[in-house]
Amino acid sequence: MSALPVYRWRLAPDGYATRRQLRAHGLRPGGQCVAAQLERPRRRRPPLVAYLYRIDLALPVRPMTPARWAALAAANRARRICPACGRDAGYVIPTSLGTCVPCAYPDPDGSEGNT
């Protein structure tokens, strides 16, 4: 197993791209291994590392089919259902709360509505 070539930040040769850069061009790594790595030095901390993939081996992004759109919509809909009260919150429930805001912070006097 050979070591990965390491390049300094902004000094990688042409023909390499990060995952985000590939995605911006409508490509994906397509199962290829990491080809190189970028390192951005930082003071008093370890360097930031970005993995690079070869652009010539990248494959086009798979298109969204109607079934994939439906699965994505169902997953997003499930993230809006409060597990405590079972209502659709109308927004994605924060994982920090785990429930909708009214269930997480119930009104102490029991009244609902604006004052």
Global pTM? Answer: 0.66
Concatenate the DSSP letters of all residues of 51-64 into one string. Answer: EEEESTT-EEPPPP
Tokens of 96: 């920090």
In the 8-state DSSP scheme, what is residue 88?
B
- pLDDT of 61-74, one tens digit each? 999 999 999 999 99
Give average pLDDT by consecutive 10-residue segment, the chain, 115 residues. 85 94 96 95 93 96 95 94 93 92 85 56
Best CA proximity match to 52, nearest among 75, 70, 29: 29
